[in-house]
Chain A
């Protein structure tokens, strides 16, 4: 009986291995569809048949010849057919378009309560920083460097003449790189049960309030506002937005759902993390404004306000999904 069984298994294996050509055709068809090199409807229909055929042969190969290269080949072909059938071809353009037109606005809507709270924390920290330095001016040394303090004490804003020292382009890149890193940290440090995000939001709020109080003491608050208004509207909003994303991650760890802490963390990080792409894009714009418009004395206050408010409205349009034209959104959805 055992000889019969062995002979039967060998015959089955031989029959299976004789189908190698069919597997290779199926794999080639899958590769064409996965790389979007073909839109042939026949290929697409055949893919479903290929998938069933490969599953069938793989099941037999797993049982009959588990250590063979044919089984490895079938595993590969089956995995690729599965991915192509369930995930389609990779189209980077439409994927990015869908991200900005649908996924980021959806994430922002989900983050609304966190945005409210992180904004509140930031404002409270700014008020606390203002009150502290207003009451105890020496505390400014905790929030600002000696050069900044010396400049303000001489009655000059540290940003005056900045463009004589550093070109706008260099300044922009330095600023936007710094802001992007701060935003990313505000998000990532949510990993520490939200405490890291709280620290970044609190520290930045305290610094802003403290510096406004300090410049106010020396009659330069108006000049500082003049400098900040063009880029600050978006820059500070993005800080609160990335803080909100970090807070969502932190809350997922502090109060996990029924799926467990890791699953909760994963879901929150993935859902909120998409807004970072919008944050980074917005900070690039804010950095360019801060490098080219804010330190340039030729721009009057009205222009700065228009730039600042205009860019802020653009940010709202982007985050609410209204920036992209309907046709692009529909095309992304179709793709």
Chain B
């Protein structure tokens, strides 16, 4: 990711900058589509269920006369879900929404921290401008034109969307240090990861991945003759072991 989009670099007292990769228009639009779908489904579900319960039968029709209870129980909550979805969830989830979370991005301030309620409010209020004239025309144009991929709301609120590097991700392969052998660190990580995941893979995937890894790191010297799964695993162990292939 970091090679494709610029990073937000934040100074630190340690002298080592904190680096957060910025999310581009693609990731942002994808997250928005997920959120939009989610809020529409939620709002419609509420309407359908509440209308059926209110009417006491399978009917979504509104009462002929304007009734306060119908409005308050059936119409108002879906509207609130639709219009307050982003603001409320970004507040509650510290700059994230379900869509942003599934794409792996979050809203941060220029110093990398979570935005406060004021910034989130401003960011979301400016959707009025970003959505003009239709389909987020202003917002998408600005995102494409600005170096940091910002829409008007982000400019006003001083926020950015960054890829989330969650420290809690269990992505660190175990025993990679012991597998450095003849490999470089990233190679050792790949082999360690593959061996770690070996029991969870289907047999075809085990053999296929092992063949690719051996080809990549040993080239023409790789022994790619047919063998059972244990043979392929042994070849990987040899590649990653301290003794070499």
Contacts and interface: CB of A to CB of B under 8 A. Distances in A.
B42 interface: no
Interface stretch (A39-47, A70-78, A115-123, A129-137): A70-78
A265 interface: yes
Interface in B65-102: 66-69, 71-72, 76, 79, 91-92, 94
A17 interface: yes
A209 to B, nearest CB: 27
A153 B15 CA distance: 75
A267 B72 CA distance: 38
A90 B186 CA distance: 35
Contact of A69 (B67, B91, B173): B173
A128 B14 CA distance: 62
A76 B166 contact: yes
Interface residues of A, number: 70
Contacts of B167: 27, 30-31, 73, 76-77, 79-81
Interface string A1-32: 00000000010011111101001100110110
A73 B189 CA distance: 12
A270 B158 contact: yes
A167 B119 contact: no
Given A79-B165, A167-B68, A52 B14 contact: yes
A167 B113 contact: no
A28 B172 CA distance: 13
B125 A273 contact: yes
A20 B72 contact: no
A274 B118 contact: yes
B180 A17 contact: yes
A72 B156 contact: no
B114 interface: yes
Nearest to B116: A95
Given A17-B177, A17-B185, A99-B117, A75 B128 contact: no
B210 interface: no
Interface in A290-319: none
Nearest to B8: A79
Contact of B172 (A69, A81, A266): A69
Nearest to A29: B167
A165 B180 contact: no
A100 B94 CA distance: 19
A69 B16 contact: no
A96 B117 CA distance: 7
B63 to A, nearest CB: 11
A17 B183 CA distance: 13
B49 interface: no
Given A69-B171, A170-B71, A273-B125, A90 B19 contact: no
A266 B114 contact: no
A277 B165 contact: no
B112 interface: yes
Nearest to A71: B185
Central interface residue in A55, A77, A270, by most chain B CB within 10 Å: A270
A242 to B, nearest CB: 10
A99 B121 CA distance: 12
A77 B169 CA distance: 10
B185 to A, nearest CB: 4
A228 interface: no
B176 interface: yes
A176 B197 CA distance: 57
Given A55-B16, A67-B186, A86-B113, A188 B118 contact: no
A197 interface: no
B177 A273 contact: no
Interface of A: 10, 13-18, 20, 23-24, 27-28, 30-31, 51-52, 55-56, 58-59, 64-65, 67-70, 72-73, 75-83, 86-87, 90, 92, 95-96, 99, 103, 165-170, 173, 177, 184-185, 187-189, 191, 249, 262, 265-267, 269-270, 273-274, 276-277
Given A28-B168, A70-B185, A83-B114, 12 more contacts: A76-B169, A79-B19, A79-B20, A79-B167, A82-B112, A167-B71, A170-B66, A173-B76, A188-B128, A249-B156, A270-B122, A277-B121
Interface of B: 10, 12, 14-16, 18-20, 66-69, 71-72, 76, 79, 91-92, 94, 111-114, 116-119, 121-122, 125-126, 128-129, 152, 155-158, 165-169, 171-174, 176-177, 180, 184-186, 188-189, 193
